[in-house]
């Protein structure tokens, strides 16, 4: 008989999938797209931005044509070109009509465009394939894990190891479960790797939560295998190439209306994967703002029988020793001139083969992932208790509705809400830093890089990254002294609740450093840092810089 160690198992909080808001939404897909179209249309009509509707349409057509030419993707629908051509023709034809007639045509075109966007954005959630994808991830990965870790191929059907041995969930999982019953949860994880989407999908089902909807970059749908998982995990599509106001408004309305229908949602508020390896500092405010708008609208619509559902924001921090795409990401970061350009997808997630081989490596070698579930907050970043009540800093209960009240009435003030988004974003970033778990690997990278900086005070970053091989080494004893000093500082921060620290960090310095060196970027062709004799040798400055960035923002540089 095999002995299994005690494991936490979470029951599903709503066992009947029929009742999941996301299932209702998928059933209603057509009607929902209609509603989104109507609401986006109304708000776009009122927001003028100093342009006439005609100018707005001309601009949209122009940008879309430019995008189709400059940056076509495999997922783009075939009828795209004729569609925009037809819009353009009708726009041109109506230019000479009397204003009233022209206006009617313009509004019709606007509605057509919005409808197309809404249809493109809307997810294709299917209950059955959700079940399948879920089972596949849990079962399939677990089998792979057992096959390679336990006794070779014969143990393919062993139940000894599960995915949750590999992935540690820490933080406040009970809180998110309680909140998902009381209101609508918006999960906001950090974003380092494309793997995050699937990982989070697994976390959600592991915690027994109903499926979440989430915005996934349309580029991920280029890849068949991803597209399948995305669709089945409730993804809706976000196309970062489309930056025109009509698209952005439609996207925001989609998110806002889904929240109002009670769909738990997931945003990666950093927008894209962190290019520098640093924890997100500046969040994309667009989608985040829909949480505040949705909450306000729910308060406006509430009455004595129908109380407004509350929206809860739950930050989640994902920690890896290793980011598959690190070399490509950091190169992109370094090349970037500060402007957001159309970028070519040229990283390790381009072929299914590479992903498969990564997954295989991931499950066969011991490099853990930890996912920290943060404490739930309201839409202004106040913590909420298990009952979902917002608390102020003294622990007194406050009502988020009051944030929208002016002279006793709820008022609509977009500028005010914009400020609220900023406050919320700042709070999320604070929470990220707090829940970030320091691994020994992060700290060895940080120590080594900072020591190189100290040794070469005259070099700027770009020259430092190009330092010749013979200079790219550090005396081990010196390294250890510096590392220990930083660890002391980090443990102090941990005591103050400003950061998390992985257990292995508390072992003897030699052991912890060894652990860190062994895990730092372990699957890269070239390990960033290795120990040879009494030296620590830097083999790849760029990836070292990437992993070092993870520890920026804690004021550690003063202590080295």
Partner 1 sequence: MVSKSTSKYIGVIGAGSFGTAVANILAEKNQNVLLYARTPGKAASINETRTCNGYPIHDHIEATDDLEKVGKSCDVIFPIVPSANFREMMKDLSPYLKPYHILIHGTKGFDLNVNRDKIDDQNPLTREHVRTMSEVIKEESSVVRVGCLAGPNLAREISEKKPAATVVASHFDEVIRVGQTLLRNERFLIYGSNDLIGIELCGILKNIIAVGAGTIAGLGLGENAKALFISRGLVEMVQIGKALGGNAQAFLSLAGVGDLMATSYSSLSRNFTVGNRLAHGEDIKAIIDSMEEVAEGVKTIDIINELARTYRVRVPITETLHRIISNEMSVDDAHRYLMKFPFRAEIDME
Give the interface segment with partner 1, choosing from 165-173, 200-208, 322-330, 418-426 (CB under 8 A). 418-426
Contact call for residues 243 and 63 (beta carbons, < 8 A): yes
- Interaction between residue 403 and partner 1 (CB under 8 A): yes
Q: How far is the CB of 431 from partner 1 (least distance, A)?
A: 17
- Interaction between residue 560 and partner 1 (CB under 8 A): no
Q: Please pick, from the candidates 244, 319, 370, 382, the single residue that binds partner 1 as defined by CB under 8 A.
A: 382
- Interaction between residue 419 and partner 1 (CB under 8 A): yes
> 197 or 382, CB closer to partner 1?
382
Task: 384-392: list long-range contacts, CB under 8 Å, 24+ apart.
Answer: 384/179, 384/310, 384/312, 386/174, 386/175, 386/178, 387/178, 387/182, 388/178, 388/179, 388/182, 388/183, 388/310, 388/312
- Interaction between residue 498 and partner 1 (CB under 8 A): no
> 143 or 416, CB closer to partner 1?
416
* 506: CB partners within 8 A, 6+ apart: 491, 512
> 47 or 150, CB closer to partner 1?
47
* 128: CB partners within 8 A, 6+ apart: none
**Cα–Cα distance list, 449 to 249, 398, 482 (Å):** 43, 45, 11
Q: Closest by alpha carbon to 235, among 76, 358, 129, 357? A: 129
> 79 or 419, CB closer to partner 1?
419
Q: How far is the CB of 305 from partner 1 (least distance, A)?
A: 15
Distance in angstroms (rounded) separating the CA atoms of residues 179 and 226? 29
> 156 or 397, CB closer to partner 1?
397
> 79 or 402, CB closer to partner 1?
402
> 176 or 493, CB closer to partner 1?
493
- Interaction between residue 430 and partner 1 (CB under 8 A): no
Q: How far is the CB of 68 from partner 1 (least distance, A)?
A: 39
Up-side HSE of residue 425: CA atoms within 13 Å toward CB? Answer: 22
> 70 or 396, CB closer to partner 1?
396
For 318, the enclosing helix (H) or strand (E) is: strand 311-319
Q: How far is the CB of 395 from partner 1 (least distance, A)?
A: 11
Q: Please pick, from the candidates 416, 433, 504, 531, the single residue that binds partner 1 as defined by CB under 8 A.
A: 416
* 270: CB partners within 8 A, 6+ apart: 190, 191, 280, 283, 284
* 96: CB partners within 8 A, 6+ apart: none
Dihedral sign, CA of 518, 520, 524, 527? negative
Q: How far is the CB of 401 from partner 1 (least distance, A)?
A: 5
> 304 or 525, CB closer to partner 1?
304
Q: How far is the CB of 417 from partner 1 (least distance, A)?
A: 10
| Contact positions with partner 1 (CB under 8 A) in 89-128 | none
Residues in contact with partner 1, total (CB under 8 A)?
23
**Cα–Cα distance list, 278 to 187, 192, 343 (Å):** 20, 9, 20
- Interaction between residue 412 and partner 1 (CB under 8 A): no
CB atoms within 10 A of CB 48: 11
> 306 or 394, CB closer to partner 1?
394
Give the interface segment with partner 1, choosing from 1-9, 171-179, 414-422, 507-515 (CB under 8 A). 414-422
- Interaction between residue 4 and partner 1 (CB under 8 A): no
Q: Please pick, from the candidates 11, 306, 339, 415, the single residue that binds partner 1 as defined by CB under 8 A.
A: 415
Distance in angstroms (rounded) separating the CA atoms of residues 233 and 202? 10
* 400: CB partners within 8 A, 6+ apart: 295, 299, 310, 378, 379, 380, 382, 390
Distance in angstroms (rounded) separating the CA atoms of residues 428 and 380? 10
Distance in angstroms (rounded) separating the CA atoms of residues 183 and 388? 8
| Contact positions with partner 1 (CB under 8 A) in 383-402 | 392-394, 396, 398-402
Q: Please pick, from the candidates 4, 46, 337, 407, the single residue that binds partner 1 as defined by CB under 8 A.
A: 407
Distance in angstroms (rounded) separating the CA atoms of residues 400 and 398? 6
Q: How far is the CB of 405 from partner 1 (least distance, A)?
A: 4
Distance in angstroms (rounded) separating the CA atoms of residues 319 and 374? 13
Q: How far is the CB of 378 from partner 1 (least distance, A)?
A: 10
Give the interface segment with partner 1, choosing from 162-170, 347-355, 403-411, 518-526 (CB under 8 A). 403-411
Question: Binding residues for partner 1, per CB under 8 A?
Answer: 380, 382, 392-394, 396, 398-403, 405-408, 413, 415-416, 419-420, 422-423
């Amino acid at each position: 008989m095999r002995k299994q160690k005690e494991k936490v198992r979470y029951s599903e909080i709503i066992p009947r999938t029929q009742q999941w808001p996301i299932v209702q939404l998928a059933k209603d897909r057509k009607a929902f797209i209609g509603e989104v179209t109507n609401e986006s249309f109304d708000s776009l009509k009122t927001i003028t931005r100093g342009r006439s509707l005609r100018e707005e349409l001309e601009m949209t057509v122009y940008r879309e044509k430019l995008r189709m030419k400059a940056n076509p993707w495999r997922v783009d629908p075939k009828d795209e070109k004729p569609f925009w051509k037809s819009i353009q023709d009708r726009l041109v034809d109506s230019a000479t009509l009397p204003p009233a007639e022209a206006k009617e045509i313009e509004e019709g075109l606007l509605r057509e465009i919005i409808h197309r966007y809404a249809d493109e954005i809307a997810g294709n959630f299917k209950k059955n394939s959700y079940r399948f994808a879920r089972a596949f991830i849990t079962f399939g990965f677990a089998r792979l894990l057992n096959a390679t870790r336990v006794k070779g191929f014969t143990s393919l059907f062993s139940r000894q190891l599960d995915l949750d041995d590999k992935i540690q969930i820490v933080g406040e999982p009970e809180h998110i479960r309680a909140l998902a019953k009381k209101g609508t949860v918006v999960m906001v994880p950090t974003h380092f790797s494309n793997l995050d989407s699937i990982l989070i999908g697994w976390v959600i089902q592991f915690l027994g939560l109903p499926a979440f909807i989430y915005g996934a970059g349309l580029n991920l749908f280029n890849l068949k295998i991803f597209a399948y998982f995305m669709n089945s995990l409730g993804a809706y599509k976000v196309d970062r190439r489309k930056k025109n106001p009509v698209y952005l408004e439609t996207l925001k309305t989609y998110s806002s209306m889904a929240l109002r229908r009670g769909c738990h949602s997931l945003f990666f508020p950093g927008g894209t994967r962190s290019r520098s390896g640093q924890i997100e500092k500046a969040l994309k405010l667009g989608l985040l703002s829909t949480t505040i708008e949705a909450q306000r609208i729910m308060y406006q619509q509430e009455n004595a029988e129908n109380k407004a559902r509350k929206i809860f924001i739950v930050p989640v921090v994902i920690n890896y020793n290793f980011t598959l795409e690190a070399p490509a990401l950091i190169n992109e970061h370094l090349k970037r001139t500060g402007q957001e350009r159309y970028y070519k997808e040229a990283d390790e997630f381009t072929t299914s083969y590479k992903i498969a081989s990564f997954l295989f490596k991931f499950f066969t070698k011991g490099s853990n992932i930890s996912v920290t579930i943060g404490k739930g907050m309201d839409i202004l970043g106040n913590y909420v208790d298990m009952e979902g009540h917002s608390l102020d800093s003294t622990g007194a209960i406050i009502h988020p509705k009051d944030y929208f009240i002016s002279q006793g009435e709820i008022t609509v003030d977009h500028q005010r809400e914009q400020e609220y988004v900023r406050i919320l974003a700042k709070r999320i970033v604070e929470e990220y830093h707090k829940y970030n778990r320091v691994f020994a690997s992060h700290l060895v990278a940080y120590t080594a890089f900072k020591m190189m900086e100290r040794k070469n005070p005259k070099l700027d970053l770009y020259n430092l990254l190009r330092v010749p091989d013979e200079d790219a080494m550090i005396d081990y004893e010196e390294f250890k002294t510096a590392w220990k000093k930083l660890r002391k500082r980090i443990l102090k921060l941990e005591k103050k609740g400003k950061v998390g620290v992985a257990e292995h960090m508390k072992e003897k310095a030699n052991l912890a450093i060894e652990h860190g060196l062994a895990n730092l970027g372990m699957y890269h062709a070239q390990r960033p840092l290795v120990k040879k004799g009494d030296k620590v040798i830097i083999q790849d400055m760029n990836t070292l810089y990437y992993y070092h960035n993870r520890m920026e923002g804690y004021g550690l540089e003063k202590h080295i």
